[in-house]
């Protein structure tokens, strides 16, 4: 099997048969976050598989965390849990609607909103960004962002197809 590993703009890229560019590894065991037992709302979110709530102009997510109603000057936050199992990584695709007036920062923290920050990403209006990072032993993640006065209102924010996984 041919592999390519390179660095582009400080990001390690890896390619191999069956492995996506930018992925941490080839997933061996995964746990899609679809069940209410794996999720809890912190503010302004719901977990769903409804196509109407998970569609963007360019994508349709099969499951995800989204806002059930428009948000303005509010938090968008949830917890996701492994249900006691240990996984090495977390991944998802994060989308914010094109009607927002400024980029949003999403934080992924160990256990709760005061926990160790495992990853921060910035998402521009109308953009979908893939996040994939090691859990460093976490079995619960806080995912959060804030719609501030400079953003205007948010019609749709999506954490698309979130899942915990371990490498082969």
CB 142 within 8 A of CB 115: yes
Q: What angle do CA 40, 46, 47 make, to 5 degrees?
A: 80
- Give the pLDDT band of residue 12 (cuts 50, 70, 90): very low
The string of pLDDT tens digits covering residues 120-161 is: 999 999 999 999 999 999 999 999 999 998 888 899 999 999
Domains and CATH numbers, the chain: 28-167 (2.60.120.260)
Average pLDDT over residues 96-105: 95
88: its two tokens: 């090495």
- pTM assigned to the model: 0.83
For residue range 39-57, list pLDDT tens digits in order. 999 999 999 999 999 999 9
pLDDT at 150: 87
Q: What is the DSSP string of 52-120?
A: TTSB-SS-B-SSEEE-SS-BSS-EEEEEEE-TT---SEEEEEEEE-TT-SS-EEEEEEESSTTSPEEEE
| Biggest CA pair distance of the chain | 51
Q: What is the mean pLDDT of residues 107-129?
A: 96
What length does the chain have? 168
């Amino acid at each position: 099997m041919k592999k390519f590993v390179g660095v582009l703009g400080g990001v390690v890229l890896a390619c191999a048969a069956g492995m996506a560019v930018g992925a941490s590894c080839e997933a061996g065991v995964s746990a899609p976050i679809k069940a209410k037992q794996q999720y809890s709302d912190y503010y302004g979110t719901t977990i769903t598989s409804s196509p109407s709530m998970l569609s963007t102009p360019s994508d349709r997510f099969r499951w995800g965390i989204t806002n059930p109603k428009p948000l303005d000057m509010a938090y968008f936050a949830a917890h996701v849990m492994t249900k006691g199992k240990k996984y090495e990584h977390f991944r998802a695709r994060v989308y914010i609607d094109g009607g927002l007036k400024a980029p949003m920062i999403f934080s992924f923290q160990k256990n709760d909103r005061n926990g160790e920050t495992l990853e921060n990403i910035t998402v521009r209006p109308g953009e979908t960004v893939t996040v994939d990072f090691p859990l460093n032993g976490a079995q619960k993640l806080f995912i959060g962002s804030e719609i501030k006065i400079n953003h205007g209102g948010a019609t749709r924010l999506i954490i698309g197809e979130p899942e915990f996984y371990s490498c082969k």
